Amino acid sequence: MSIWIEFAICAGVILYSGSRLSVYGDLIAEKTGLAKGWIGLVLLATVTSLPELITSVSAVTLNNLPSMAVSGTIGSCMFNMMVIALLDVLSKHKPVSNMVQSGHLLSCGFGILLLGLVALEIGFGRHFPILTSLNSIAPTSILFIAVYLIAMRLIFDYEKVRINETTGELAEGVAGKDTSLTKALVLFAAFSVMIVVAACFLPGLGEQIAKQTGWGESFIGSSLIAITTSLPEITVSVTAARMGSFDMAVANLLGSNLFNVAILAITDLCYRKGPLLQAVDPVNSSTAICSMMALAVVVIGLTYRSEKKFWYLAGDAIAICIIYVIANAILFLAH
């Protein structure tokens, strides 16, 4: 079977299973009452980013591909920004940045902070001390987790009322209000297994594609792997946008970015050969920096709130698209 067909099959499994997993995860959180608490918010963020988590961990544990693990995870952050830009196509005459509330600036700020730490660790981490008692984990990995939990706490406190009102809206719209908790749990487990199996194959397939095409491990991770693992977020966000819930769509994508950086800390724990971000190609720092630039554009858009579009996209959306192309061009030309 062609390597591209195998990759497409894995992508299809992740697309379908991941989108359903997100729906049933929301439904379970709503029916058990977890959605009304901070722990529920963290768990829901974890569910949405399960493909990135499994793919990143399997890349270092099963395939010894640290650069692909990191580029795939950071590339997902960059691609999430691209999805936010493309939501403009669904927002009719107004830019998305003009239709959502300014509270998303909090997620943007934490996203820029976390990605800045990632770029710093990749570029200068070799000069930092390591925690030998914890399997040579870099101190920044501990910082990733700490900042992520603080971000979730503050975001929950800031948007508590809105979170309580909107959690479950998408799940009930897709899965149906009559879905029982038992059925939701069984389907959640089944789709989780499907994602784990498909995601474990992705890094190996990506490595073979990199060898066949000569495109480079980091470019394959940042483009193909990142897009594939982000498919569930795309489906959930587009579904929310079509329901008119653009706030939900944007919050899902920005929240996924925060958890993606936390994934790097988990992957660092699983990587046995030293600090993860010090073992990757330094060019991956460019993706982190471009992701920060895209988040900065989102901040500008949320602050300025333009009411005009150029054809289907607003100025901030066009800028994000340009940054995305530049980010991938840098990785492609570096190999």
User: Which DSSP string corresponds to 265-321?
Assistant: HHHHHH-TTS-GGGSS-TTHHHHHHHHHHHHHHHHHHHHH-----BTTB-HHHHHHH
- Overall average pLDDT of the 252-263 stretch: 92
- The average pLDDT across 183-198 equals 89
For helices 246-270 and 38-48, what crossing angle results, to 10°?
80
Q: Where are the domains of the chain?
A: 3-333
pLDDT at 312: 85
Residue of 260 and 136 predicted with greater confidence: 260
Taking 90 as the threshold, does the pLDDT of residue 37 lie above it? no
Task: Name which of 99-113, 128-142, 176-190, 263-277 the model is least confident about.
Answer: 128-142
Best CA proximity match to 11, nearest among 235, 185, 326: 235
Binned at pLDDT 50, 70 and 90, residue 167 comes out as: low
Of the candidate ranges 116-120, 136-140, 205-209, the one whose mean pLDDT is the lowest:
136-140
Beta-bridged to residue 137, according to DSSP, are 131
43: pLDDT strictly greater than 80 = no
pLDDT surpasses 90 at 173: no
Concatenating the DSSP letter of every residue in 166-189 gives HTTHHHHHHH-TT--HHHHHHHHH
SS3 137: strand
Task: Please give the mean pLDDT across all residues of the chain.
Answer: 86
Lowest mean pLDDT among 25-34, 149-158, 222-231, 319-328: 25-34
- Please choose, from the candidates 244, 241, 303, the residue with its C-alpha nearest in 3D space to the C-alpha of residue 104: 303
Helices marked H in the chain — which ranges?
3-32, 38-48, 50-61, 66-86, 96-99, 104-124, 139-158, 160-166, 169-175, 181-213, 217-220, 226-229, 231-242, 246-270, 284-304, 315-333
pLDDT greater than 70 at residue 165: no
Q: Is the pLDDT of residue 261 over 80?
A: yes
Measured CA to CA, the distance from residue 168 to residue 165 in angstroms comes to 8
Q: What's the CA gap between 320 and 85, in Å, rounded?
A: 6
Q: Who has greater pLDDT, 24 or 77?
A: 77
Share of the chain above pLDDT 90, in %: 47
- Closest to 246 (Cα-Cα) out of 148, 115, 103, 150: 103
Whole-number pLDDT of residue 163? 64
137 contacts 130 by C-beta, under 8 angstroms:
yes
- Compute the distance between CA of residue 38 and CA of residue 35 in angstroms, rounded to an integer: 8
Return the residue matching tokens 């990995």: 141
How does DSSP classify residue 131? B
Top CATH class of 3-333 equals: mainly alpha
Q: Which residues contact 296 (CB under 8 A, 6 or more apart)?
A: 108, 112
pLDDT of residue 133: 47
Is residue 259 within 8 Å of 79, Cβ to Cβ? no
